[in-house]
Amino acid sequence: MTDFKQLRQRMIDYQLRARGLRDQTVLDAINAVPREEFVPAALVESAYSDTPLPIAAGQTISQPYIVALMTDALELKFGERVLEVGTGSGYAAAILAEIAGEVYTIERHKILADNARTRLRAMGYDRIHVLHGDGSLGWPEHAPFDAIVVAAAGPGVPAPLKQQLAIGGRLVIPVGCNLYTQTLLRVRRVSAHSYQQDDLGGVRFVPLIGAAGWQDENQG
C-alpha cells in the first residue's frame, strides 16, 4: 500500500527545500494537503512526481514546485483574503486555504469548477468559494483581495485584477506573448494608483483565456 504521507515529505525535502523554498508556513500548508486526492485515480502513484499531470478538460494539475513557488511569492499571511484564477483540480486552492482566511477561485471550464467544488466540500474546505466564469475579470463582488494568483499566462497583467488588489496586496501572474517566452511577475499595489513589479523568472503556463486575457480560438 502506497505511503502517501512519506511521499509528500520526500517531495517537500527534495523538490521544494532542495530548490530553495524555505518559508515554513508554505511548506506546512503543502504538507497538510493530500495531493493524491486531486489527481485522476489512474495517476495516484504519480501524485508526488515533479511534473504536471493531466486532469479533465484537457488541463493539468501543475507540478508541485510551481504551486509552491507561486504560493511562496504571494507572501501570504494567516487570515488574508485570496483570489485564485484557474481552479483546475482545486489543489492549489486547498493549499492557499491552509493559510488564508477566505479563498475565492474561478475556473472557466464548468466540469473542473463543479468537480473542484464537490471535492473541496467533501474535504472540509468550507472557506473556499468556487465560481465558474471568466477569471481574467476577477470577482469584484468580493474585492479587494490581499493576494491574487493566476495559474495561466496573459498577454499582460489584466487591469481588472490590479484594480481588485487591496493596498499592499500582491498579484502573482505569468505574462508572455506565447508558450515559450513567459515571465512570472509579482505586482504589488502600493497606493490607489501606484504599483511595483518584480520579475520572478521564466515559467510556462497555458494561456489565460478571457475578456482581459487571450481570445478563445475555439469561439472564432
Fold type of domain 4-209: Rossmann fold (3.40.50)
pTM: 0.96
Please report the pLDDT score of residue 63 as a whole number.
93
| Backbone torsions φ then ψ of 142, nearest 5 degrees | -110, 5
Phi/psi class of residue 75: alpha, beta or left (left: φ > 0; alpha: ψ in -120 to 50)? Answer: left
Q: Mean pLDDT for each consecutive 10-residue tract of the chain (220 residues)?
A: 94 97 97 97 96 94 96 97 98 98 98 98 98 98 98 96 98 90 96 97 93 77
Kindly name the residue from 46, 62, 89, 194 that is annotated as catalytic.
Answer: 62
Q: Where are the domains of the chain?
A: 4-209
Q: What is the dihedral of CA 132, 37, 9, 52, to 10 degrees?
A: -60
H/E segment holding residue 193: none
> Are the beta carbons of 99 and 27 closer than 8 angstroms?
no
> Does the annotation count 194 as an active-site position?
no
- 115: number of Cβ within 10 Å: 21
Q: Which amino acid is at 19?
A: R
Looking at residue 146, its pLDDT comes to 98
Q: What is the C-alpha to C-alpha distance for residues 111 and 91, in angstroms, rounded to an integer?
A: 15
Take residue 108 and report the three cell numbers written for it.
472557466
